[in-house]
Amino acid sequence: MTAIKHALQRDIFTPNDERLLSIVNVCKAGKKKKNCFLCATVTTERPVQVKVVKVKKSDKGDFYKRQMAWELRDLTEVDAKDANKENPEFDLHFEKVYRWVASSTAEKNAFISCIWKLNQRYLRKKVEFVNVSSQLLEESVPSGESQSVAGGDEDALDDYQELNAREEQDIESMMEVCEYAISNAEAFAEKLSRELQVLDGANIQSIMASEKQVNILMQLLDEALAEVDTIEGKLCSYEEMLQSVKEQMDQISQSNRLIQISNTNNGKLLDEIQFLVNYMDLSKGHIRALQEGDLTSPKGIEACINAAEALLQCMNVALRPGHDKLLAVRQQQNLFAELRDMFARRLTNHLNNVFVHQGHDQSSTLAQHTAELTLPKHSPLHRDLLRYAKLMEWLKNTQREKYEGLSRTYVDYMARLYEREIKDFFEMAKIKMAGTTKEGKGKFGLHGSSGKLTGSTSSLNKLAVGGSSSRRSQSSSLLDMGNMSASDLDVADRTKFDKIFEQVLSELEPSCLAEQDFIIKFFKLQQNPTPAQGEGEDSDGPVKTRPSTNEHRHSISSEKDMVRLMMNKIFQSIETELNSLIALGDKIDSFHSLYMLVKMSHHVWTAENVDPASYLSTTLGNVLVTVKRNFDKCISGQIKQMEEVKISKKSKVGILPFVTGFEEFAELAETIFRNAERRGDLDKAYVKLIRAVFMNVEKVASESQKTPRDVVMMENFHHIFSTLSRLKISCLEAERREAKHKYTDHLQAYVINSLGQPLEKLNHFFEGVEARVAQGVREEEVSYQLAFNKQELRKVIKEYPGKEVKKGLDNLYKKVDKHLCEEESLLQVVWHSMQDEFIRQYKHFEGLIGRCYPGSGITMDFTIQDILEYFSSIAQSH
């Protein structure tokens, strides 16, 4: 191990100015045994650096190489595994834990002891030594031979001091003078001792010779001390003089400070007075305007607005602490309060008078508007009142009670005015609707009170009650629509009703929107904060801060509620009158609900686009629910009437009334709902109606006694298919295909059932032939069967000459003609289908004769060409 240590010192550490102090032969724990050396080293230069170096033997030769190094200061823990038993394993905790196994316990202990000593000597760092024997951890090491290698080497390193260049030159010159110094060291030492004694004697003589100079120096020091005392006396006198000057300067400074404080206070007082004068002084002109200003002329109103805003600004000035204790400020505030209350009373009384006078002017023109179906316009009233909008805002901010009282007065007055106007307006609308009914009386056969309609509500109610059942059963019934021709339909009446209803909604909409817009502007609702509610200071001076964000939101919400409440009170009769008008229109003709649904939906959509939260949008939305309910009731009524339909047992059915009724309903609905917003409601109604039509057609067809079921189904589903194909209703495309399928199936079934077996005996004969073939008899052997030989076949064929066949077909044509109705014109279609079916059977018989009786020469008495001539001549003859 010593040889390895010297080799490592020479080859690795000496070139790096390092000294190797301890070494241990180790390998990594738990892995393949690859030996290496851990070395404890120190540098030879100051400051000393202590390292733990891992050295490994090179794979390519016999030399060692440095693999890894750790600074001792990075070491945190040394774990010897077991302090009592010999265990070669130990761990070093640097940035991570390194586990090692030493070649011997002695080497491990020596290495750990060296690490401990180096830590104590150079780092003074508390490295934790775990499971290490206390004998190894000695704080001091005794000198002598028992001292460790590391400790001895380090002490020697500390005692050694290298000679500098001057010391080397002195030693060399001395040794040159004494050439025998090397050969005779004792003589050399003796000589040096003698020279040293000579030098000591010279030093003593030099000290004694300098005593005179010392005395002179002491005398000079005494003179200096006396001079210092003189200077100190002068400095004391100067200090006394300066003390008096300091007192005078302190007095001057105190006086200047008091003057400065006085100037500052005067400046602040001037600022306060200027502040109060600037922001709490109301001009005489403003006071005169508030006391005597003309509230009727535009100039007077403008002067009052300016004065009111100036007064509000003065009252809202944010006073500084202490201002409210000043008598002048309290007097000024009292003056402002008196002016505010006095002007608020003047303004309230004047606006009340304006409401009354403007109301009388409006009432005078009411009769002129009721003659026509129009609502009076209140734009002049609004225009006149809007001049006072800023004053209302001022009143809102200063006198809330008077502001709310004015708003209640306005609402009460306008509610009475609008109630009269709306009542008369809807009365005129009902009269015009009743006039429409009266004109259509001849078409529907209405009897009773409709002839007495003059515009009174009682007459209209009589119409709604007395004529509702007959009108509903006659004008809105799909059954009756089917029984009437197109010229008898109330197209003109319905169009006129549509125009009247549209005019009603068109008159209501601008009136409601204009009134709501006026209320918002005049009463300053849902608006931005006023300048008096702003934050901080603006160009006009300091004002009180506005409420917090949550309070502001609550204020906006309450103002919206106030607008809604005012509109509900002013137009409280609109919803009731609209529902009454809708009920009347529905009783006159239930199909009016289609017109009303489209018009009402359009106006609701328009109102929501303008303002979704407006009173008009909400009210029309509520009325739309009623209209939609009437529309659904109309559809349900038609379906119920379909289910209750009864047919005559003595006459053929033909096209059912509710089938033609559905056709005319669809034509009417498509005209009304073209580009409508509520198309989805109509599509749902279509589906309900068409399913009811399908179901009741099948029900009537099953109950029919005079007309065959297939004819009823074929004719009616053909009509439905034609209607749906012509109108091209996208939501009924599946029903269109279903109607076509049912029509085709029942046409084929009717043809087969009506045609039956035109050659009955021949058909029975060939059925027997097919049965024998099915039993396994070969086709060419069928003729050898006794019942199906050639003679039997000839006998059967002779019974069906061409003349008899034509006679049978002629009777069949007459029978079909009796079954079919003229409206659908399906006779030729059915006849052509029968011709095709007859020819198919003929070809089938010919094929069986050719296969089962080959070479017999047997043929029918008529040909396909004869069949075509029979069918053609029969059709032409009829």
- Identify the CATH number of the domain in which residue 579 sits: 1.20.1310
Residue numbers of the chain with a pLDDT score lower than 70: 31-32, 61, 138-163, 178-183, 358-371, 436-490, 526-557, 650, 756-758, 824, 878
**Does any domain span residue 717?**
yes
Cα–Cα distance measured from residue 429 to residue 503, given in angstroms and rounded to the nearest whole number: 9
CA distances from 74 to 54, 96, 123 (A): 15, 10, 11
Identify whether residues 579 and 679 lie together within a single domain.
no
- Could you give the dihedral angle defined by the CA atoms of residues 218, 224, 230 and 235, in that order, rounded to the nearest 10 degrees? -130
Identify whether residues 676 and 796 lie together within a single domain.
no
Contacts of 690 (CB under 8 A, 6+ apart): 662, 720, 732, 735
Scanning 56-148, the segments in alpha helix (DSSP H) are 105-118
Q: 541-565 burial string, b = 16+ CB within 10 Å, else e?
A: ebbeebeeeeeeeeeeeebeebbee
Range of the domain at 803: 759-876
Identify whether residues 654 and 619 lie together within a single domain.
no
What domain count does the chain have? Answer: 5
Cα–Cα distance measured from residue 295 to residue 683, given in angstroms and rounded to the nearest whole number: 60
Identify whether residues 799 and 844 lie together within a single domain.
yes
In the numeric block, which tokens belong to residue 751? 């043809």
Residue 120, number of CB atoms within 10 A of its CB: 16
Cα–Cα distance measured from residue 868 to residue 831, given in angstroms and rounded to the nearest whole number: 12
**Does any domain span residue 408?**
yes
What is residue 259's predicted lDDT score, i.e. its pLDDT?
Answer: 92
Check whether the bond before 15 is cis (ω within 30° of 0): no
Identify whether residues 43 and 17 lie together within a single domain.
yes
Question: What pTM, to 2 d.p., does this model score?
Answer: 0.55
DSSP assignment string, 459-508: HHHHHHHHSHHHHHHHHS-HHHHHHS-GGGS-HHHHHHHHHHHHHHHHHH
Strand pairing class (77-79; 128-130):
parallel
Q: Of 718, 738, 756, which marks where a domain is finished?
A: 756
Helix (H, G, I), strand (E, B) or coil at 54: strand
**Does any domain span residue 859?**
yes
Identify whether residues 15 and 113 lie together within a single domain.
yes
The C-alpha angle 408, 410, 411, rounded to 5 degrees, equals: 65
Identify whether residues 15 and 40 lie together within a single domain.
yes
**Does any domain span residue 419?**
yes
What is residue 349's predicted lDDT score, i.e. its pLDDT?
Answer: 92
Q: Of 258, 280, 302, which marks where a domain is finished?
A: 280
Longest Cα–Cα distance in the chain: 192
Identify whether residues 512 and 426 lie together within a single domain.
yes
**CB burial of residue 248 (10 Å; 0-12, 13-18, 19+):** exposed
In the numeric block, which tokens belong to residue 804? 């008899």
What is residue 93's predicted lDDT score, i.e. its pLDDT?
Answer: 92
Identify whether residues 575 and 667 lie together within a single domain.
no
Identify whether residues 766 and 864 lie together within a single domain.
yes
Residue 590 CA from chain centroid, whole number: 43
CA-based nearest residue to 821, from 709, 665, 739, 716:
716
**Does any domain span residue 112?**
yes
DSSP assignment string, 725-740: HHHT-GGGHHHHHHHH
Identify whether residues 620 and 677 lie together within a single domain.
no
In terms of phi and psi (left: phi > 0; alpha: psi -120 to 50; beta: otherwise), the region of 85 is beta
Cα–Cα distance measured from residue 716 to residue 697, given in angstroms and rounded to the nearest whole number: 7
Q: Of 255, 280, 305, which marks where a domain is finished?
A: 280
**Does any domain span residue 324?**
no
**Does any domain span residue 156?**
no
**Does any domain span residue 162?**
no
**CB burial of residue 683 (10 Å; 0-12, 13-18, 19+):** middle
Identify whether residues 388 and 514 lie together within a single domain.
yes
In the numeric block, which tokens belong to residue 557? 């919400």
CA distances from 848 to 16, 45, 271, 852 (A): 122, 129, 130, 6
